[in-house]
Amino acid sequence: MTAPALEVASAAQLGQIALDVSLGVDAGRCLALAGPSGAGKTSVLRTVAGLLRPSRGRVRCGDEVWLDTERGVARSPDRRRCGYLFQNYALFPHLRGWQNVAYPLRGGKRSERRARAVELLERFEVGHLADVRPGTYSGGESQRVALARTLARDPRVLLLDEPLSALDARTRASAGRTLKRTLASSDIPTLVVTHDFDEAALLGDEIAVIDNGKILQRGTASELAAAPVSSFVADFTGAVVLNGMASPGPDGLTAIDLGGGATILSTEQGSGAASASVYPWEIELAPIDAPAVGSAQNRLVGRVVSSTTVANRVRVTVDAGQPVTAELTGPGARVLDLAVGQQIALTWKASATRLIER
């Protein structure tokens, strides 16, 4: 086994948060650092780029050591060859598109630098912006020009800080695909920071969930969703988290007492204070007087709090002692004829219920 292409360790006190993260990324792979804002994700990127000097830390890229606080090594940002895509894209307002992209290019004739810059712009389908200043760019155009500029320096590592958050919902999908294609063809390690789990799942080969300056769990999106190590990770992946007390139940299952007389079952083992997590798309809704169908062993009754349409799905939040969100298709929701305040039954399988001891 060879060492990863990029190794980062960073420990620093950032206001209230004690950052202490260490990670490695292989060449050609993308690790998404995901977590709520203020968790310290961006500080990890800044450590790699040299924009933040941690009190203790080490950054190694390939065979170059960029930072080693123990040995007193700290290369300045301009000597690290990082492709850093800033959250607001940070295009230079006084330079035309091609001049922005050519900014990191040195030596050679002006015409050669221009040709190289235009080539990069065309690769991202924004060749027409070569002679236009950034003031008039749309969000998507800014992102593409910034990405072209980031790659112009032939970086050894790619650092993307919330690359899609400055875009409106419509542009985000296509910009996400552009980014995904770029990452797929890249042979350098990439770190991408995002507060959105779906974005992390789209861009990252792996996801590291960060909260309060620490990595809570690292794995593929499906690994995190299937076996979250904590209720925070479960919640972050979009699962419904129910808190209660676990004890041995019937048929070798675990019963979780949610309080208020409600009990649910899980096929996973555990006891004591625990969180049960279940994904919204695994929960079915039914009128409370309908007979039980199928093998779903968990049933809670509650009142509809809200129902929102997201793309072709409807998210229904129900107050069943604890809030539960179910996700169903539009036609399914119409059949139920949901109304806020209406009593409704939620059902799901014991095998879809993951158990996390607290």
Partner 1 sequence: MRSRLGRAVARLFPVALIVAVAVTLVFLALPVIAIFADVSPKQLIDSLDDPATVDALRLSLQTTLTALLIILVVGTPVAWALATRRFRGRQILVTIIELPLVLPPAVAGIGLLAALGPKGILGPVLDSLGIALVFQTAGVVVALTFVASPFYLRQAQSAFESLDRSLVEASRTLGASEARTFARVACPVAFTSLLSGAALAWGRALGEFGATLVFAGSFQGVTQTAPLAIYAQFGTNFPGALALAAVLVAFSVAILGGVKLLGRLQPA
Span of 3-11, 78-86, 118-126, 307-315 interacting with partner 1 by CB under 8 A: 78-86
Residue 11, interface with partner 1 (CB under 8 A)? no
- Minimum distance from residue 56 beta carbon to partner 1 (Å): 22
Of 27, 65, 87, 268, the one binding partner 1 (CB under 8 A) is 87
Nearer to partner 1, 83 or 244 (CB): 83
Distance in angstroms (rounded) separating the CA atoms of residues 243 and 324: 11
Nearer to partner 1, 91 or 344 (CB): 91
Question: Binding mask 164-203 vs partner 1 (x if CB under 8 A, - otherwise)?
Answer: ----------------------------------------
- Minimum distance from residue 78 beta carbon to partner 1 (Å): 5
Nearer to partner 1, 75 or 218 (CB): 75
Span of 32-40, 47-55, 236-244, 261-269 interacting with partner 1 by CB under 8 A: 47-55
Residue 247, interface with partner 1 (CB under 8 A)? no
Residue 149, interface with partner 1 (CB under 8 A)? yes
Where does this chain bind partner 1 (CB under 8 A)? 49-51, 76-84, 86-88, 90, 92-94, 103-104, 106, 135, 149, 152-153
